[in-house]
């Protein structure tokens, strides 16, 4: 009791997680001299209401944002990576296998998830993939799609960030633009089997690796759609539908905890939901 952790997680799960090796992205960098350590307005960025607020690690100071979200894959079968973030400070948030979300740091606080992006307003969100950390390869990462409850959670988070953080629901072009993209937006030669799978446009370097495919080919296609434009069949398209429905007062954001997929899809009023049709193609 009193840990502040979600009630659906047993203490045994928490203990296991703290002892696990997590294969998530750790890309530390120093604070550039021109970035102040505190936000000059003094107003903290709002927290995503669909995530459990579990503040963790040390406060690395203002990140000069938030301006964009980088979506990542964590090689782990853990239900939470809070214990890993406590020592790595590597992300602001997490999406678990059943769509439950956790937020560890403010969206205007820096983390060590994207190297050059850490102090340019890039928010890092990690996500479960269930792969074995000891043996997983970049090819394995490219084969692992997000389960549908995770897609819906990500779409909800992206939709919320539009009115709440001022981040437009659009594909990232360049590492210094506004919107949502995969970690590989800032990785120059990501391993990929897709003809349009290299979405690097620079100029920032978001990893010490030049080949890491994070968040993986399948997840990239889920996020941007088959045409890599955020159009039909994409999580970004689904986020547009959620944003429109919430703005019109027809529904609210997802609650905390696991995603009830039928209820979550129904809340937007019955528009065709085409965003997942290509997920497993
Ligand atoms: Zn990553």
Q: How far is the CA of 25 from the centre of ligand 1 (A)?
A: 5
137 burial type by CB count under 10 A (0-12 exposed, 13-18 middle, 19+ buried): exposed
Separation of CA 126 and ligand 1 centre (Å): 7
pLDDT digits (tens, 9 = 90+) for 190-224: 999 999 999 999 899 999 999 999 999 999 999 99
Q: Find the 205 Cα to ligand 1 centroid distance in Å.
A: 12
Quote the ligand 1 centre to 272 CA distance (angstroms). 31
Span from the CA of 65 to the centroid of ligand 1 (angstroms) = 19
In the chain, DSSP finds a helix count (H) and a strand count (E) of 7, 6
Q: 42 C-alpha to center of ligand 1: Å? A: 30
How many Å lie between the centroid of ligand 1 and the Cα of residue 94? Answer: 12
Q: Considering the chain, what is the average pLDDT of its residues?
A: 89
Span 140-156, pLDDT tens digits: 999 999 999 999 999 99
Distance between Cα 26 and ligand 1 center (Å): 8
| pLDDT band, very low/low/confident/very high, at 21 (cuts 50, 70, 90) | low
Q: How far is ligand 1, taken at its centre, from the CA of residue 245, in Å?
A: 31
Q: Predicted confidence band at 134 (pLDDT cuts at 50, 70, 90)?
A: confident
Quick one: pLDDT at residue 135?
A: 87
pLDDT band at 183 (very low <50, low <70, confident <90, very high): very high
User: Distance, CA 70 to ligand 1 centroid (Å)?
Assistant: 8
pLDDT number for residue 132 = 86
CA distances from 252 to 246, 266, 269 (A): 5, 12, 12
Task: Name all domains of the chain by residue range, CATH numbers in brackets.
Answer: 49-266 (3.40.80)
Q: How many angstroms is it from 266 CA to the middle of ligand 1?
A: 31
Distance 186 CA to ligand 1 centre (A): 10
Distance 23 CA to ligand 1 centre (A): 10
Contact 280, 226 (CB under 8 A): no
pLDDT score, position 172: 96
CA distance 42 to 32: 20
Q: Residue 29 in contact with residue 117, Cβ under 8 Å?
A: no
- Cβ of 110: how many Cβ atoms within 10 Å? 29
Distance 95 CA to ligand 1 centre (A): 13
Ligand 1 centroid to Cα of residue 113, in Å, is: 7
Q: HSE of 246 in the Cβ direction (CA atoms, 13 Å)?
A: 21
- State in Å: Cα 34 to ligand 1 middle: 26
pLDDT of residue 196: 96
**Ligand 1 centroid to 210 CA: how many Å?**
12
Phi, psi dihedrals of residue 126, rounded to the nearest 5°: -90, 160
Coil, helix or strand for 101?
Answer: strand
29 pLDDT more than 50: yes
């Amino acid at each position: 009791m009193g840990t502040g952790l979600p009630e659906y997680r047993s203490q045994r799960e928490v203990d296991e997680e703290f002892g696990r090796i997590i294969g998530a992205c750790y890309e530390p960098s120093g604070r550039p001299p021109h970035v102040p350590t505190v936000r000059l307005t003094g107003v903290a960025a709002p927290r995503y209401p669909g995530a459990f607020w579990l503040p963790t690690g040390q406060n690395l100071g203002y990140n000069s944002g938030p301006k964009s979200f980088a979506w990542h894959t964590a090689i782990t079968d853990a239900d939470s990576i809070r214990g890993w973030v406590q020592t790595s400070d590597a992300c602001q948030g997490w999406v678990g296998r059943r769509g439950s979300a956790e937020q560890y740091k403010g969206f205007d606080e820096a983390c060590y998830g994207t190297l050059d992006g850490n102090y340019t307003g890039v928010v890092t969100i990690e996500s479960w993939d269930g792969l074995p950390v000891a043996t997983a390869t970049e090819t394995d990462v490219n084969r692992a799609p997000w389960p549908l409850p995770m897609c819906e959670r990500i779409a909800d988070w992206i939709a919320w960030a539009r009115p709440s953080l001022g981040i437009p629901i659009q594909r990232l072009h360049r590492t210094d633009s506004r919107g949502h993209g995969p970690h590989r937006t800032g990785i120059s030669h990501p391993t990929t089997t897709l003809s349009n799978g290299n979405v690097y446009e620079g100029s920032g370097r978001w990893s010490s690796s030049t080949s890491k495919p994070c968040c993986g080919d399948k997840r990239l296609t889920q996020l941007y759609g088959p045409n890599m434009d955020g159009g039909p069949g994409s999580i970004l398209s689904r986020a547009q539908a959620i944003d429109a429905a919430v703005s019109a007062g027809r529904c609210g954001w997802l609650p905390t905890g696991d995603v009830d997929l039928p209820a979550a899809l129904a809340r937007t009023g019955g528009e065709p939901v085409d965003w997942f049709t290509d997920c497993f193609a």
